[in-house]
Structure 1
């Protein structure tokens, strides 16, 4: 067989990772750019007139899927050698018919937000994804977009692959979110950009507000009213004219949570993560850790591109279990897996509830975390909508005589959470496959090596 054919049929298998108790973690690190802001920067830049320049874009697989989709619909997107991305947009209403299926990989955010963009354009698009994404329900997005005039042909259960046909002009709607979801909110608002009249989203429980901040920044007419009970009414005026922007993407708080929790639970550790996005609709994990007694210090607090940013220093702490209020869930929904790890080392009991959303993420995160934590000796009870965890008062978890293999089920946050759990498990542990980490945190393992958590 010639060299040119030798790798044609190689199928890369799982890449396991072994993690065990390290010396104290020390150092100052950065984490990749915020995933939510990165997705929206590319999408809005593609709908804007003129050039958008993006510094600090997360170059993980999820965001690259968004870039590929926007290119397929006419935007010119390039990356210079200094890491700056340039987007030359097509203008609102200017998206072109994609000639290929839009492969979303593992990215639920890309899929749901792009459905919103396409819903008010007279084009047809097919969405595909990997095995994990293809299990995730899309009905929560297709329902309001159908009201606006889009048509969907989905796989059984409202899942991918699916084909949609947008409508232009679409129909403006007033939509009350039945479940807290920034993705559904954003999809409807993005559809409203090219819809005549005013599109409204009523949000009973606040969720991350990057879409609102960035739509305003790009020049959309967007208003937010807050009622006495905290309900937010977000209105966007259609047929918008967006203008290219200069964007600096802050570090992703979801990614920052991993080295921060590692520092809190590995004795003797002190770690600083710089340039972390501190948007209050995203930073719930840090406030909950503080409520548990975490030694967290914020410094160099500033505003960058309309988003609050700070450096966070975390020092080893004996945490105390708490009842986590359900209303904080939207501000830290992706961080509960790593919070469960922290709770396993706390003093006393941590109770969580209102986390039904975790069962329909990249995996059933409640079930996987409960199963995996139990395997390494944590005392955990799985409820319908949360976990109850009895902590060890700082004592390392007892994983038995042999390092157990933990199933991450192709979920990047499960894989990273158990990587951190391995640092406080006496026998260590093996995560069955670390490849999915590339979707959101491609520098995760190098960062752990920099802190001394895994051998170089």
Structure 2
């Protein structure tokens, strides 16, 4: 299934979920593999790269800065690293498309370069505030200017007169902000330390170690000394748990289903969705655990049954922040009430995911009350109908999955953005038994 097959309107009719499928490589790790491979000394080989639009935006940015990258071909990349000081000034603004990860992490990296650059993106990305990144980078000496009101992109990054290491306490748990500060810290004078209020995904730390860069972990604080080097590495990228979550929920909602997802990353800082589903009573088994490049991986077998509504533990919120749209679908089909709090970040994703999901669930007959930092969902019969994903890829896929528990087909509009994170979604969904099609009318 190519991106040209992925239309803006999907019609999902449920289906019979089962079999064995594999999802594409982890998006977060794919971004970082390109970044660290480009900055390394030597040639890095990558397997399992996710060729979605978000990751391709990162790849294109590094090509524009003089890095030779072969592929992607069947998920394989060959990255000819230029070293920490080998990037060149791009000739035009770097277009990040819809990728907040690309923009925030590159802001940290570009802050240390001896050339000026501009980061831009699509309308959705340029409506997302970047102050949470610009503020700590500015305290390191970075010269970053948001060109729109409210700290919104495009971002103009001018050469700094040298960066200095800082100790930074994240006001809100965010792996992207943490990573941006650490990337700038690679070039800073002295030590850079970031302390988290709650655990977030640690792919940056794991990959820095895989590329031979020393870090120091002290509880919730990670530190690194500027001025080191990265060595080329060969990586296999695990399957993306955020993508797998759609099928975990689809199978969990359908009595009698039996689906296995192979080679999925189960990093402890990412498995919040898995733990939430287990707390709701989902029949999920973690099998054949192994390690790819420092990342834990397993096969996940899920069998359908009845889910129970829960009050989602706040410590799991940052560990499941990207999976909440489909977890809201699980809550809608569960028995009883599910309550989420402490997730205000969902309001500044590709869409306001709290409001957009509440509106869509209501259109399908589910009682959903948005809160300032979460939502209350009372499970019940899911009906058919039309919902608007507002151009948000995860919302679109979540409502397609809802059709498994719906009494009639669900039509999802605003779904074309699926290609940004999961270009093969339709093909994988069909192989898992989901009856879904792109409506080209």
Q: Do both share a fold (TM > 0.5)?
A: yes
One of 179, 189, 193 as aligned partner of 2:186: 193
Kindly indicate whether residue 136 of structure 2 is the aligned counterpart of residue 144 of structure 1.
yes
Mapped to 2, the partners of 1:276 and 1:123 lie a distance apart of: 39
- Are positions 1:254 and 2:242 aligned together? yes
1:382 alignment counterpart: 370
Of 93, 109, 118, which aligns to 1:117? 109
TM-score using structure 1 length: 0.92
CA apart distance, 1:148: 1.4
**Pairing 1:30–2:54 present:** no
Q: Per-residue deviation at 1:432? A: 0.6
Matches of 2:436 and 2:344 in 1, distance apart? 37
SS at match of 2:405: coil
Asked if 1:74 is matched to 2:66, the reply is: yes
Give 2:151's aligned residue. Answer: 158
Structure 1: runs of 5+ lacking an equivalent: 1-10, 227-231
Question: Shift in Å at residue 81 of structure 1?
Answer: 4.5
**SS, match of residue 168 in structure 2:** strand
Q: Which residue of 2 aligns with 1:363?
A: 351
2:327 is aligned with 1:327: no
CA distance in 2, matches of 1:265, 1:56: 29
CA contact (8 A) 1:168 1:195 kept: no
Deviation at 1:152, TM superposition (A): 2.1
Task: Identify which of 282, 288, 291 aligns with 1:300.
Answer: 288
Aligned to 1:444: 425
Give me the whole-angstrom Cα distance separating, in 1, the residues matched to 2:14 and 2:21: 20
What residue number does 2:325 align with?
A: 337
Name the structure, 1 or 2, with higher relative contact order (CA <8 Å, separation 6+).
2
Cα distance in 2 for residues equivalent to 1:378 and 1:82: 41
Does the CA-based 8 Å contact 1:381-1:387 persist in structure 2? Answer: yes
2:207 aligned residue: 214
Query: Which structure would you say has the larger Rg?
Result: 1
Shift of residue 197, structure 1, vs aligned partner:
1.4
2:73 & 2:136 partners in 1: Cα distance? 41
1:397 aligns with 2:382: yes
> Contact conserved, 1:126 with 1:161, CA < 8 A, in 2?
yes
**Mapped partners of 1:240, 1:128: distance in 2:** 29
Instruction: State the 1:290 CA deviation.
Output: 0.8
Aligned to 1:46: 38
2:154 aligned with 1:173 = no
Q: Offset of 1:83 from its aligned partner? A: 3.8
| 1:41-91 CA-partner distances (Å, limit 9, x unpaired) | 000011100011100001100000000111111211111655420111111
* RMSD between superposed Cα atoms in Å: 1.6
d(CA) in 1 for partners of 2:189, 2:83:
15
Shift of 1:34: 0.5
Who is 1:283 aligned against? 271
Q: 1:263 to 1:185 in 2, by over 3 A?
A: same
Deviation of 1:27 (Å): 1.1
Q: Deviations over 1:283-338 (max 9, x none)?
A: 11111111111100111111111111000011111011111011111111001111
Separation (CA, whole Å) in 2 of partners of 1:197 and 1:268 = 58
Is 1:94 paired with 2:79? Answer: no
Where in structure 2 are there 5+ consecutive unaligned residues?
none
Equivalent residues of 1:149, 1:166 under 8 A apart:
no
Equivalent residues, number: 433
Correspondence for 1:426 among 407, 417, 420? 407
Which 10-residue stretch deviates more, 194-203 or 101-110? 194-203
Q: Is the 8 A contact 1:46 1:90 kept in 2?
A: yes
